[in-house]
Structures are given as structure tokens and as C-alpha cells.
């Protein structure tokens, strides 16, 4: 943004200089190229110099009035929309300080030069400085207005806040900034980013909210890459850092070195609470960002950060179940499933995730959201299948957990849950996995007609779901190359079904 300002200023100055020089040259040539004495009032009529200073002073007054009016209206209004700290950001900006100081100084200097002129005293260099200063002031005006408008763009505000956080982290890492001071800066800037996201959601300004969420995700990446080099005091926190947390919770944050991650993810959680009923695409972005953050933590070997992201996934699900918001549950289950399949090889994590998903699926059913266990069954089945194919030590246990999801309630079959188990069993059998027998045992209470009906439902399911969704592919869809395996598996359960 500074580069754009100086580039625009250079174009204005150069263009004006060329025009003014051409104008002077034409008139000088037209009038017979007179000497210096013909063009100067010095020593001839010094009062004329004062007359010259008067419009310059008025020009500066106009410039200052326009700048102060613009700043006085635009900055507070924008701060009220995004973050009150914008006023502080504006006043701390070096370019804003320089322009405002230059205008005020030049206005005062013009008055001083006019005062210096006397009947026998003509301070020509001071007059020239004042005149060219006024020209420069007007040249700056348009680029500076553009700069102020860009400064107020929420995208640029977010970028400045991100840079402040990154600079603070880097300075603490190199020892150039005290860790306590760095924590204070980070705490303030993260709260400002969170405030911008939440206020944007309140106005349904989804674009700014999505940008803010992605900035938070990038900050977690930035900090994660430098975390091992941060000084020990960086991770020391107290109640002032986490108001409301118990002493035990603060001790955990400190022991697990999660000061920064907890700050950022809590901003994401607060944003999620606002987004659930206001902007579904923002919900998707938040859960996607949390998944990416969790995978990055696992790749770095930061177990505490990984577990924190998982706990926030659980917070997301609890919030959605409490709000009875099926779409957000649907999305978080999808991202949770992608996390679990990305972490194959981590049996402990995959086992925990399946347990959490089962628990929240049942909680959703208890809250009256009967459809949630239906799509949860397919997500859980996908996790179990990937665990088996990755030869997870806990693969059998994970399959059993999936099969524990009831497919019959009060004597009524829940067809989609049965379909998910049937699809899982067919895939396991096609892979030669012994866990296929567990599926046969789990659905042994189903009649032949129920099994055949579930098979037919899977075979009829189109690839594209009949509504527009984030996943879009119908989770019941069975690719053509997998259909013989499904038929064979059903035939092993109901011998007559193959010909039915």
C-alpha cells in the first residue's frame, strides 16, 4: 500500500512538473525570453510577495480542512464497523504521521514567510520553498486520499494486524522483544482480528469474515514453524491472558505450551458461534481451517496442538447440536472424517475421533435431529475402511465402534444406517478383511427383505446428491466397479438375494 502511494505520488509530481515547465517555457518564449529582473518582484514591490503568500496560506487551510474532515469522519465510522483499534493503527502509521506533519508544518511556514517579508527584505529562498511546498502539498493530496481509502479496506486492516502478530513473534524469537510485551501485542491483535470477523458476520459480510478466518489459520502456520525456537517465557501465562479459565486450565495451557494456539482457535470458535445461524459458508471455512491446522500440527509432531484442534472440533459439534443446525453438523462431520483419514497410522487419534463422532451423533438424535446418525454412519464407515486398509492396529475396534451405531430403533429399521454398514461390509469383503464377518454379525437381525431393500437403495443412489451440498457426491453412491462386491456380500448374507 505504501508502494502504491509513492508510485502515484511520483506520477502526479512528474506529470505536474512537466506541464508547469512547458507552460512556463511557452510563455517565456512568447514574451521574448525576458531576463530574471522582468519576472521577479524582489526589491521592486516586496508587498507583492505577501500577496502571493496569502493564497498559499488559504490553500494550506483548505488542504488541512479536507484532510481533517476526511479523517475525522471516515476513521471513526470505519472503526465502529470493524475494530475501535483502527484509530490507533491509523495514528501509528508512519505515512499518516508524515503527511499530517508536513501539511501542518507547511501551513505554519507559509505564515512565517509572509511575516518575514519587509519593504527592504525579500527572503526569496523561503518564498520559493513555500511555493514549491504548496505545490507538493496539492500533489500529495490525491494519492493520500487513495491511500486513506485503501487503509480503511478491511482486507488491508487484517493484513496489517497479521503483520503485527508475525513481527511480534519474530522479534520475540530473535530476542529483540520481551516475551511479555510480545504476548500483549499478540493478544490485542488477535482480539482485533476476531472482532472484525464477528462484526462482519453480524453484517453478513461473508467475504471479510472468510478472509479473517484464513488470516488466523496462516498465523497458526507461521507460529507453528517457529514454535520450537521460541523462548520458554513465551509459553508462561497467567489469569490476565485467559480471563475466566480455572487455575487448572491455565496450568494445562502453560504445560502444553498452547498459549498462541489457544488464543487463535478460541477466536475461530467465537466466529463459529456467530456463523452457525448467519453464514454457512463461513462455518465450512472455519472447520476446514481447523482441519488443516490439526494436520499441520500432527506433521510437526506437536501432539498438544493436535489434541487442542480436536477438542475444538468437539466444541463446534456441541454448538451445532445445541443450535439444532444440521448443515453445520454435516460439514463438521465431513471435515472430522477427512482429518481422521489423513491421520491413518495414528490409531489413538482415529479411535478417539470415531468415539467422539458416535457420541455427537447420538446427542444429535436425542436433540431431535434423527438425520444426523444416518450420514454419520457413512462418515464413520469411511474412517473404518481407511483404518483397515492402512492396517491400523485398532482397525477392528474402529469397525466395531461403527457397527455399534444402532440400525434399528423401537422396532423400526433405519435404512441409511443399514446401507452404510452394508457398504462397509462389501468393501471389507472385497479387500479380504476378516472384519467383514463383524458386519454380517451386526446385521444378522435384519430380514432378507430389509437387506435386499438396503442393497437396492445403494444401487439406485446417483453419484450426485439431489440437492446442492458441500460434498455433492451422494454418500450412498456405489461406483460401478464396486457393485459386484456389494452383490456378492449381500448374497453371502441372504443367499436368495442374488437372484432376487
Distance between CA atoms of residues 286 and 215, nearest Å:
11
Neighbours of 285 (CB within 10 A): 24
Residue where a domain stops, chosen among 301, 323, 345: 323
Whole-number pLDDT of residue 149: 77
Number of structural domains the chain divides into = 3
Same structural domain, 202 and 346 = no
Q: Are residues 222 and 117 in the same domain?
A: no
In this structure, how many other beta carbons lie within 10 angstroms of the beta carbon of residue 492? 16
Q: CB–CB of 320/329 below 8 Å?
A: yes
- HSE-CB at 78 with a 13 A cutoff on CA atoms is 22
Q: What are phi and psi of 458, to 5 degrees?
A: -65, -40
Question: Which of 106, 125, 151 finishes a domain?
Answer: 151
Q: Residue 74 contacts by C-beta under 8 Å, 6 or more apart in sequence?
A: 148, 149, 152
Residue after which a domain boundary falls, among 293, 323, 353:
323
pLDDT mean for each 10 residues of the chain (500 residues): 68 67 61 57 60 72 75 66 69 81 77 71 76 78 80 84 93 93 91 88 84 93 93 87 82 88 93 84 89 93 94 94 90 92 87 92 91 90 90 88 87 89 92 90 89 92 84 88 91 62
SS3 assignment for the chain: CHHHHHHHHHHHHHHHHHHHHHHHHHHHHHCCCCCHHHHCCCCCCHHHHHHHHHHHHHHHHHHHHHHHHHHHHHHHHHHHHCCCCHHHHHHHCHHHHHHHHHHHHHHHHHHHHHHHCECCECCHHHHHHHHHHHHHHHHHHHHHHHHHHHHCCHHHHHHHHHHHHHHHHHHHHHCCCCHHHHHHHHHHHHHHHHHHHHHHHHCCCHHHHHHHHHHHHHHHHHHHHHHHHCCHHHHCCCCCCCCCCCHHHHHHHHHCCCHHHHHHHHHHHHHHHHHCCCCHHHHHHHHHHHHHHHHHHHHHCCHHHHHHHHHHHHHHHHHHHHHCCHHHHHHHHHHHHHHHHHCCCCHHHHHHHHHHHHHHHHHHHHCCCCHHHHHHHHHHHHHHHHHHHCCCCCHHHHHHHHHCCCCEECCEECHHHHHHHHHHHHHHHHCCCCCHHHHHHHCCCCCHHHHHHHHHHHHHCCCECCCCCCCCECCCCCCHHHHHHHHHHHHHHCHHHHCC
Same domain, 228 and 117: no
Residue 295 and residue 341 in one domain: no
Domain that holds residue 338: 326-500
- Measured from the Cβ of residue 228, the count of other Cβ atoms closer than 10 Å reads 11
Q: What is the pLDDT of residue 313?
A: 95
Q: Are residues 359 and 497 located together in one domain of the fold?
A: yes
Q: Are 353 and 429 in a shared domain?
A: yes
The reply to whether 405 and 492 lie within a common domain is yes
Residues 205 and 64 grouped into a single domain: no
Q: How far is CA 152 from the centre of its chain?
A: 18
CB 406 within 8 A of CB 414: yes
Q: Report the alpha-carbon distance of residue 196 to residue 212 in Å, rounded.
A: 7
CA distance 46 to 411: 108
CA distance 305 to 296: 9
- Rounded distance between C-alpha atoms, residue 219 and residue 169, angstroms: 10
pTM: 0.78
What is the model's pLDDT at position 260?
Answer: 93
Q: How far apart are CA 429 and CA 426, in angstroms?
A: 5
Among residues 454, 486, 460, the alpha carbon closest in space to that of 474 is found at 460
pLDDT value of residue 338? 92
**What is the rounded distance in angstroms from the CA atom of residue 434 to the CA atom of residue 95?**
70
Clarify whether residues 375 and 499 are in a common domain: yes
> Do 311 and 352 fall within a single domain?
no
Residue-level length of the chain: 500
Q: Does 294 lie in the same domain as 380?
A: no
Indicate if 195 and 253 belong to the same structural domain.
yes
Q: In 98-121, which positions are buried (b, 16+ CB within 10 angstroms) versus exposed (e)?
A: ebbeebeebbebbeebbeebeeee
Amino acid at each position: 500500500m505504501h508502494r502504491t502511494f509513492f508510485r502515484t505520488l511520483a506520477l502526479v509530481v512528474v506529470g505536474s512538473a512537466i506541464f508547469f515547465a512547458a507552460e512556463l517555457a511557452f510563455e517565456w518564449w512568447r514574451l521574448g525570453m525576458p531576463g530574471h529582473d522582468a519576472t521577479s518582484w524582489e526589491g521592486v514591490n516586496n508587498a507583492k510577495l505577501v500577496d502571493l503568500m496569502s493564497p498559499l496560506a488559504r490553500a494550506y487551510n483548505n488542504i488541512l480542512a479536507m484532510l481533517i474532515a476526511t479523517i475525522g469522519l471516515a476513521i471513526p465510522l470505519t472503526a465502529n464497523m470493524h475494530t475501535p483499534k483502527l484509530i490507533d493503527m491509523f495514528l501509528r502509521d508512519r505515512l499518516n504521521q508524515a503527511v499530517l506533519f508536513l501539511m501542518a508544518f507547511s501551513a505554519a511556514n507559509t505564515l512565517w514567510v509572509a511575516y518575514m517579508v519587509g519593504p527592504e527584505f525579500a527572503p526569496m529562498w523561503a518564498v520559493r520553498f513555500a511555493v514549491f511546498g504548496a505545490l507538493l502539498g496539492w500533489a500529495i493530496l490525491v494519492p493520500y486520499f487513495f491511500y486513506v481509502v485503501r487503509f480503511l479496506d478491511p482486507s488491508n486492516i487484517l493484513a496489517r494486524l497479521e503483520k503485527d502478530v508475525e513481527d511480534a513473534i519474530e522479534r520475540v524469537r530473535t530476542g529483540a522483544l520481551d516475551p511479555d510485551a510480545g504476548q500483549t501485542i499478540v493478544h490485542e491483535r488477535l482480539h482485533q482480528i476476531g472482532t472484525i470477523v464477528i462484526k462482519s458476520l453480524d453484517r453478513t459480510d461473508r467475504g471479510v469474515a472468510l478472509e479473517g478466518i484464513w488470516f488466523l489459520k496462516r498465523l497458526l502456520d507461521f507460529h507453528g514453524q517457529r514454535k520450537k525456537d521460541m523462548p520458554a517465557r513465551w509459553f508462561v501465562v497467567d489469569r490476565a491472558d485467559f480471563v475466566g479459565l480455572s487455575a487448572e486450565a491455565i496450568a494445562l495451557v502453560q504445560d502444553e505450551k498452547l498459549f498462541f494456539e489457544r488464543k487463535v482457535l478460541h477466536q475461530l470458535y467465537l466466529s463459529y458461534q456467530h456463523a452457525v445461524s448467519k453464514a454457512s459458508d463461513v462455518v465450512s471455512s472455519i472447520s476446514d481451517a481447523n482441519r488443516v491446522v490439526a494436520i499441520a500440527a500432527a506433521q510437526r509432531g506437536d501432539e498438544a496442538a493436535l489434541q487442542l484442534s480436536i477438542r475444538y472440533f468437539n466444541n463446534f459439534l456441541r454448538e451445532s447440536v445445541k443450535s439444532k443446525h444440521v448443515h453445520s453438523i454435516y460439514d463438521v462431520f465431513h471435515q472430522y472424517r477427512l482429518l481422521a483419514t489423513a491421520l491413518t497410522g495414528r490409531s489413538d487419534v482415529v479411535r478417539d475421533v470415531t468415539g467422539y463422532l458416535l457420541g455427537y451423533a447420538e446427542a444429535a438424535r436425542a436433540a431431535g435431529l434423527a438425520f444426523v446418525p444416518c450420514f454419520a454412519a457413512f462418515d464413520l464407515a469411511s474412517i473404518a475402511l481407511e483404518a483397515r486398509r492402512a492396517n491400523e492396529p485398532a482397525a477392528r475396534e474402529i469397525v466395531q465402534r461403527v457397527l455399534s451405531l444402532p440400525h434399528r430403533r423401537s422396532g423400526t429399521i433405519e435404512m441409511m444406517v443399514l446401507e452404510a454398514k452394508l457398504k462397509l461390509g462389501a468393501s471389507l469383503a472385497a479387500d479380504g478383511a476378516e472384519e467383514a464377518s463383524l458386519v454380517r454379525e451386526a446385521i444378522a437381525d435384519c430380514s432378507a427383505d430389509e437387506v435386499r431393500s438396503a442393497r437396492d437403495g445403494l444401487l439406485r443412489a446417483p453419484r450426485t446428491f439431489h440437492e446442492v451440498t458441500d460434498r455433492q457426491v451422494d454418500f450412498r453412491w456405489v461406483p460401478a466397479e464396486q457393485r459386484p462386491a456389494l452383490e456378492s456380500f449381500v448374497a453371502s448374507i441372504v443367499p436368495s438375494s442374488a437372484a432376487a
